[in-house]
Structure 1
Amino acid sequence: MLEAYRTSSPSADWRPSPVAALATSPDGSKVAAAREDGSLEIWLVSPGSVGWHCQLTIFGDPNSKVSSLVWSHSGRLFSSSIDGSVSEWDLYNLKQKIWNTCEW
């Protein structure tokens, strides 16, 4: 007989935010995942491996809903949002820089 295991620990009640956009790095070693809660995750991908490894998470602006992601050939990561803003994601300082279209 199989029984469900339940715990009262708050860490066990983790519910990830849905993924809104994905982009693969130019060399295919990383996948960026933008989530509906404004966060961005970078996943390391090894060809032929079974699992991926979450390298980092950046907690961005929850009001800026990312609709697309793109990696540049230099390794920089950009996103656009449904409000018309464009962001660059600083993968070293773990920050989101949001540009409004009037700044272009």
Structure 2
Amino acid sequence: MVITEYSIEKLKDPFGILTGERYEVFLDITVPEDDELYTEAGIYIRILYKVEDHQTEMIKYDLLDRGSDKILDFELEDEEIKAVQAFCIEHLDEAL
């Protein structure tokens, strides 16, 4: 899995219900054709990330088909999750 593009946005909580800060992260990734995640249109990961009291947490992620925006019924492997978390932490300060 290779991250080719990304975007990060800080989510607003207009009602003040949520604790901490929430971010939505989109990662465009490429995977080899022989990988079970491979689709011809490509895939991306949508991540909901939380920062509270200097603690970070990936709340949820979805793998989506770029062509249809449908959620794929797959999970990332442990080392891929760690890589995604590290990427998010490294780039959170770029959020608008």
Whichever of the two has the greater Rg, that structure is 1
TM-score by length of 2: 0.28
TM-score by length of 1: 0.27
Higher RCO, Cα 8 Å, sep 6+ = 2
Answer 1 or 2: which has greater helix percent. 2
